[in-house]
Structure 1
């Protein structure tokens, strides 16, 4: 699927040290034996939200939860994560250096982008986005070296249209091809859900201009934004939810669209391949579509425990697809987009399983799980998020409640031009 690339200089988190757990992850009970977790928090939250607010809140909180779940094992390989959590890493690891329930740069940059969209009346302006990233920036969230240099430069010297034009290439000639744009782009996909694809791509490029101008980075983020827009405007497929969760489940899209499908999602993405600058992105989408549809009979069965699934042909098919479209550490934006879509669609109708699977791929676990969580929330709303995740999320400044409020503001906008 194209040449392998060195990560040097292109890692969005090259200086990030993975948060180390105080002890090995304590695996929870097998999902085949354990009851569904209480969805009291999700149900109470959903009762206060309009249908599209559920999509926006679910996307932002899904990203937050995926980020936290994957952050403690970032950089681990498949075998190490499976050995530490043979029944699936389904609970947050406590006692990490970062702090319990704390997100990384993946969520922080999405929050900053969302703030800039709200402040701009639903429109993405490159200069406003750049300033928002710098304002929100917190080194402790695990930013990479290049992002650190750019955002600190903005903090010290400010930024205007003239300086913005060169920031994306001032430290990496040609710009970064990393996944830092794809990881943050979900809020834009929500707001631009009905925009013509060419308008969406222009907005994506604006959102990334300060840090990622390489065509690979823009293509990866564009694909995720397209996916979020599709998912947010279609009814979810049936999901495995306990009664309490079903009561809090997602309503149909704000336009009452038809049910989302795996084929429909990939048809939507591939219909815009003329707007993708890199053949590799198109090839990877085609590969994921083909593999997921062929492997449908091998999908994780309702109630099947992770230990059993890890020994199955379905899991082998997931890992084979991962290796076909991505390096082990999914730093390239097209790798990250392809792998995230694979996790979501391999576990279609089971959003929680999709996030857990994405972590078990290893590599850039927080980023991939954050992207999957953001897409899953756009489709399923908040009803799939368990208390064991929601209840642990940090809740200070820019924490869980603030993210909910920000997502509700995002839901007010429907930018089409």
Structure 2
């Protein structure tokens, strides 16, 4: 049995930190070209591969968006709840985050958090229209806090945080897949092993998520199906951490979120040694520090 971080595995802890830093780096890298088409990216950057800020949000170099800031808010809520993913604590944390006037917020997140303010109900109504990627982008704290727990416990925790803003079966399936995939990668599984463990059941239930037999997914929208297709294509085709993230964000579209999710997975897969030093230097120092600290703290609750 692979030792859990609770028993002192420095390798798993290092991969967890790399996953969190990867999320923030992919977010910061992708935000510059968010909502641009691949052709527009080529015109302005050739190949976009540096963390320079700007974009439609006019960010500072190294600044992150809602992908990272919502993840950190969720992680703080889990830590404050003693490692439990409590729906009300998650909703309150997200509401406080929204009140802080973040640089960006998705429409589905805003709408369902406003409903929470009115009703006090921590789960949004189930909706076939809420299959955006806003819950999937923030699953990492759940993956770390539930590392080593049973699949049923992981599933319950995943849905507890997701349903605050995205109560949708496709979103749920992608969130669960990403959570289990991160956990496999933290254990040292290869990408092929991880896919063999979890991808078949995902595609059997939701064949629209298939990515291998599809054309290159460019200009992916915020629909979680297109997000996952772009991310998995980039992971399969990429040659290392940097190559994967550069591929993903140069597809354009919702590039901060595809970059964040790809960075999370690639960080867990390739480990800290694969992360470019120049990117780490460019990332907001406070964000980097919080990512590292939260990764370590969340793993203390691992089974």
| TM-score class, shorter | 0.7 to 0.9
8 Å Cα contact 1:219-1:334 kept in structure 2? no
Q: Partner of 1:66 in structure 2?
A: 26
Alignment of 1:3-22 (within 5 A): none
Q: Partner of 2:293 in structure 1?
A: 405
CA distance in 1 between partners of 2:97 and 2:87 (Å): 15
8 Å Cα contact 2:234-2:245 kept in structure 1? yes
Match of 2:107 among 104, 126, 145: 145
Shift of 1:271: 4.8
Match of 1:133 among 94, 111, 124: 94
Alignment of 1:260-275 (within 5 A): 260-273=189-202
Instruction: Identify, as 1 or 2, the structure richer in helix.
Output: 2
CA distance in 2 between partners of 1:98 and 1:52 (Å): 32
Q: Partner of 2:157 in structure 1?
A: 203
Shift of 1:93: 2.1
Q: Partner of 2:265 in structure 1?
A: 375
Shift of 1:54: 1.1
Shift of 1:215: 0.8
1:359 counterpart = 2:249: yes
Q: Partner of 2:39 in structure 1?
A: 79
SS at match of 2:71: helix
SS at match of 1:183: helix
Alignment RMSD, CA only?
2.4
CA distance in 1 between partners of 2:75 and 2:119 (Å): 20
CA distance in 2 between partners of 1:334 and 1:61 (Å): 24
Shift of 1:134: 1.7
Identify unmatched segments of 5+ residues in structure 2. Answer: 1-8
CA distance in 2 between partners of 1:355 and 1:95 (Å): 18
Alignment of 1:5-404 (within 5 A): 50-86=10-46, 88-95=47-54, 97-137=58-98, 138-152=100-114, 154=116, 159=120, 163-165=121-123, 167-168=124-125, 173-174=127-128, 176-234=130-188, 260-273=189-202, 277-281=205-209, 284=210, 287-288=211-212, 320-322=215-217, 328-348=219-239, 350-396=240-286, 399-404=287-292
Identify unmatched segments of 5+ residues in structure 1. Answer: 1-48, 235-259, 292-318
Computing the radius of gyration over CA atoms, which structure comes out larger, 1 or 2? 1
CA distance in 2 between partners of 1:277 and 1:383 (Å): 36
Shift of 1:175: 5.1
CA distance in 1 between partners of 2:226 and 2:147 (Å): 23
8 Å Cα contact 1:57-1:404 kept in structure 2? yes
CA distance in 1 between partners of 2:144 and 2:194 (Å): 15
TM (norm. structure 1) is 0.64
